[in-house]
Amino acid sequence: MRASEDKVFALSHDQGSGNYLDASDLGWVIRQALAEANREQIELFAIDSCHVQFLEFAYELEDLVHVFIAPQTTIPLDGWDYERVFNAWKSQLVGPAPLPSTPELARTLLQDISRCYQAGGTATCVSAIDLRRLDDVARAFDTLCIGSLQCLGEGLVWKTRELMIERFKHQGNAPVYDCGSFFAIWGACLDAMADEAYQGWLGSTLIKADGPGIERFFEATARVLDKAARDSRAGDPERLEHTIDALRANDRAQAGVAYLERVGDGVAARVAMLADPNQSTAARDAARDQARSRDRAIELAVNGAFVLLPAERQVDLQRMIDSVRNARRIASQAQQAVTMLLGEPERAIDGMVIDVQGEAAAHVWPRWSGVSLFRPRKLDELMNAGYQRFAFHRRVHWAALLGAANLIELHPRALWRLVSSLLSTGAAGTRRDVLRRLTGADSVVWGLREQFRVMAPAPTLTLSLERRSGSPQSASHDGPHETYLLRLESITRGAVVTEQESRVQPRVMDRALQELEALLKRDTVDRAALGSLRSIGGLLGEDIFQSLGRTLEDERELAQAEYDDATAHLQLQIPRELMRYPWELLHHRGEWLGERFAMGRQVYMETGLARRVPVRQQGRVRPLIIG
């Protein structure tokens, strides 16, 4: 099996003709063979070819094969000793003993296949997997991918990714990750980073923060750590003393760099213990407990002096705490994926991997644990059309996770084009959400948040009138009227504050329009004209608003409080048949709404294809909203 720039997962390569069978086509070939044989599934399927045991490939066989045997690594050119393998197969299927189950037969064959490869003098790994458990692995793996995607941009998680990649450099040059190794190391790296997160944050603060205010924070933290270091129960007094020295150093920035290097070395050493067969589980647990004890002491000291921190560092500390929570959650998801893949004998849980033979150490990571994942050296290779054809991508967001990492690491300008597009062409709600992350209390660019505020949309309340479906014209002593639903939506898109039924009386509305036309025909406008305008606005607002006025004012005040000096906007969404009336004159209980809001209107047409289609009004171009 080959994974190159032009041929990803090529099977049965013919060196004479240059032809090959694309792995994504093998499922079709097997389906044809099963149809001809009038069978639904192959009980046991084995392939004698290099690097075939991929999770992506397993998905092509999911509903066609029960147990699949294939190498994870390169194999000798001679391949199997077919006579030996078939004799082993035959010995299991004949004789008085009960027939073995398919997994039992796979274990026996796996031993003989592995010995064939070993006879060729090449270190290999071959495994058998139960494809009936593939869906369990898929759900756990996809949960892990989505969880990682959600917080990939966080500093702690991104640094963890770099640490994990460093560990996998020792696995060789093949463009693969072993699944079990990826799950286990990703989880272990996240836990190790989370265990020393406060130390990492403190080192960053030593480098970034400056000024007289921060001096008091450093000294207060150092005094608490002095006491902790003298405590006989201190887990690592030497490291605490080193922390105190960094806090009181004359050149704190340089001390912070050295401190972060030491923290990073400690995390890397813990992860390296996974690959050391001489390290026991007890030794790993002891290193973890010591790191957590040390970080707990620093956490108490930092939190005790929290009020002395500048606002920016307070926000960054809270962001770090959130990252730790996310890291712990993802680490737990990674462990669940390991369980689904390899099982857990202590709890009688079977995994997808039935057995592994060959080059696979029992208790270290990384190792060949039974199934691989394609992880190209250059992530742009993920766009290879052959690789994208795999059904695997419809079930697991692995390529999406790698693609997101590729975007952050290698294509930052493309990432900014995405952000700028949302800010320039997105709906107001989308722009608000993006700007909130840029400029709000949890700003991801704290130092530039004020500069980004100018790009924020105005706080906008939406007041909409919609004809009640099937509402005919009714008559009353005031004349005919129609019923409309009046809805007020807050500045948070789609959040309805209140709604009520309102009557619109065409006779009253027309009178308001006639009075406005008469007013506009006057040669001069005096104080009396202002009273007439008030009267016209009152006619429009009288039946429409009813009890809405107080709620509208409350929402306006909330918008003003959240957006400081920005002028609140009131957007009117009005059916086409009511568009001719001068709604900007709306007047309610003695107040002009225009004095409190910047007002604009939007008209909607009712059609069979779109419930609400705004059209151009008063020189404004409204966004198209398809219902």
Q: Which range scores top for mean pLDDT: 276-285, 426-435, 502-511?
A: 276-285
366: preceding bond cis by omega (within 30 degrees):
yes
DSSP 8-state class, residue 607: -
The pLDDT value given to residue 93: 81
Between 466 and 95, the more confident residue is 466
Place of tokens 């500048």: 310
Looking up tokens 């605490």 gives 240
Other beta carbons less than 10 A from residue 125's beta carbon: 23
Highest mean pLDDT among 589-593, 606-610, 616-620: 589-593
pTM of the predicted model over 0.75: no
386-399 residue pLDDT tens: 777 888 988 999 98
Say how many Å lie between the first and final Cα of the chain, rounded. 49
Which of 13-22, 154-163, 579-588, 615-624 has the lowest average pLDDT?
Answer: 615-624
List the beta bridge partners of residue 349: 344
- Between 589 and 572, residue with greater pLDDT: 572
Helix (H, G, I), strand (E, B) or coil at 4: coil
**pLDDT digit string, tens, across residues 364-385:** 898 999 999 988 877 777 777 6
pLDDT at 213 over 90: no
Q: Residue 291 carries which side chain, given as an amino acid letter?
A: A
> What pLDDT is attached to residue 130?
97
**Confidence band (pLDDT; 50, 70, 90) for 573?**
confident
Residue 312's pLDDT band (cuts 50, 70, 90): confident
**221 or 563: which leads in pLDDT:** 221
DSSP structure string for 53-105: -BHHHHHHTTTTEEEEEEESS---TT---HHHHHHHHHHHHSSSSPPPPHHHH
pLDDT at 309: 93
Is residue 332 within 8 A of residue 97, CB to CB? The reply is no
pLDDT band at 200 (very low <50, low <70, confident <90, very high): very high
> Quick one: average pLDDT of 178-196?
95
* pLDDT tens profile 3-34: 444 455 667 666 666 666 777 778 888 999 99
What is the structure's pLDDT at 69?
A: 96
* Distance between CA atoms of residues 356 and 308, nearest Å: 56
Quick count: other Cβ atoms within 10 Å of Cβ 29? 12
State how far the Cα of 624 lies from the Cα of 620, in Å rounded to an integer.
12
Residue 220 has pLDDT above 70, yes or no: yes
Band of residue 235 on the pLDDT scale cut at 50, 70, 90: low
- In the prediction, which pLDDT does 564 show? 62
Query: In the structure, what pLDDT confidence band is assigned to residue 196 with cuts at 50, 70 and 90?
Result: very high
C-alpha separations of 605 from 409, 470, 609, 616, 627 in Å: 46, 16, 11, 12, 12
Segment 103-113, tens digit of pLDDT: 999 999 999 99
Helix (H, G, I), strand (E, B) or coil at 462: strand
Residue 465, pLDDT score: 79
Q: What pLDDT score was predicted for residue 447? A: 65
Residue with tokens 């390296």: 272
Amino acid 18: pLDDT: 65
Please state, for a pLDDT cut of 70, what percent of the chain lies above it: 79
Placement of tokens 């050391």 in the chain: 276
**141 compared with 620, residue with greater pLDDT:** 141
CB atoms within 10 A of CB 270: 22
Average pLDDT over the chain, rounded to whole? 81
Cα–Cα distance, 618 to 627 (Å, whole number): 24
pLDDT score of 291: 93
Least confident of 16-20, 135-139, 149-153, 365-369: 16-20
| The two three-digit tokens of residue 86, written as one number | 């078939």
